[in-house]
Amino acid sequence: MRRAHPTEQAVGIEYYVSETDGVGGRLRADDADFRVRELERFPTEPVDAPTDAYPHLVFRATLRGWDTNDFAARLSDALGISRERVSWAGTKDKHAVTTQLFSVYGADPAALPDVNGAAIEVLGRAGRAIEFGDLAGNAFELVVSDADAPANAAAITEELRAFGGREDGTIGVPNFFGGQRFGSRRPITHEVGLEIVRGNWEEAVLAYVGRPSEAEPEGTRAAREFVAESRDWSEALDRFPNRLRYERSMLHELAECDGDPGPETFRRALERVPSNLQRLFVHAAQSYAFNLMLSARLERGLPFDRPVAGDVVCFADRDAPEGLELPDTDREQRVDERRVRSVARHCERGRAFVTAPLVGTETDLADGEQGEIERAVLSDLDLSPADFDLPGEFHSTGTRRAILVRTDLDLGREPLTLSFALPKGSYATVVMREYLKVDPVALG
């Protein structure tokens, strides 16, 4: 197998599954070259529905140059409300044109602000907030700029069709978590999460505010080096740029402490950041372990498109939009030797999916070879399911996730453009890395 880029290996992605040289080039030369539209699945009532029963205003926003968290903060500031009252189904990238759903508790349509780079369409009201995952998937249209060998895209497509294991033309790739999960330019989020899960609150804070990256400006690197070496929280506040507001929030908590901060103070510092980011720290640790499990499965030569004895599969979501294979991880089954063939037929038809765990307190590990992989990865990371019994937003019961993602893919030329749709939680960059085979920074 072809080894992955070293930056990808740092987040558990060890291999490519296609051997053909990449097309080269880069994504996001312009925001309009990376378009993503949510495949929506959130019902609404009319906008004039009674606000006592339907207090959440739901709208669709098309954003250009906006990180989802930053847009939510801008919106809440303009409305004079807590950012926690703004909800969305999926976090999107800043350097893109994205179309996605938001809900705001207690907002009036007339009060929605005009925001530069945002087009807002009010859809109606709902009785609850949109929650993370309240979508079926995402449709992508991505342009590759400055490709060195665009003709290689056809051969890569054929290899990915073979990996997907079907004869209907769909491609398949390992359902890795992409670099954005960990921080595209500073892949640190999983390291913070690993320290949290191990109960090392101080090391978790220092992983986030310290540990500089070569991709950062010199002044930022110097500030991170200073705080890691000195533990002088007050002085560090003067050195950290205002744009690093989450780091500064943590430092404020530590600077206000009388005496040396203890574990509870470091935990409170982590709790200064938005709740979704607190959850993301732990999710990133789970994602890193998941990536390592998939890499180990590739290394052993086990199939991704069908089960082996001991695997745990989940079944397809019956309400998925037409043409989108959407796993339902609430419907699982352990595959013993007698059922391997029958479940394999379900997998071939897109009715079932082999899974690996996002480990949490309620995780049951697989049996057989996959079980060996899962236990070995957790042992190497010094983790166990019980370690995820954590306070507040850091707690996670865990789930399972399909190890293969399939999609129809259209190739356009001049410029090279790839169009496809993925189920929620799957990353476009995990498809694109197979085509470009470049430094992940070029994938954005």
Which residues are annotated as catalytic?
A: 93
Tokens 């497509």 belong to residue = 157
Q: Is 435 exposed, middle or buried (0-12, 13-18, 19+ CB in 10 A)?
A: buried
Q: Which tokens hold the place of 293?
A: 């499990």
- C-alpha–C-alpha distance, residues 35 and 97, integer Å: 5
CA angle 213, 270, 72 (to 5 degrees): 85
316 bridge partner residues = 327
* Spatial CB neighbours of 321, under 8 Å, sequence gap ≥ 6: 39, 41, 136, 137
Distance CA 375, CA 367 (A): 10
Torsion angles phi and psi, residue 360, rounded to 5: -150, -170
- For residues 33 and 444, what is the distance between their CA atoms, to the nearest angstrom? 11
The token pair at 339 is 């059922």
> Can you name the residues that pair with 352 across neighbouring β-strands?
315
Would you state the structure tokens that stand for residue 281, as one six-digit string? 């720290």
Alpha carbon separation from 4 to 242, 362, 443, 444 (Å, rounded): 35, 32, 14, 16
Question: Nearest 5°: phi and psi at 358?
Answer: -100, 100
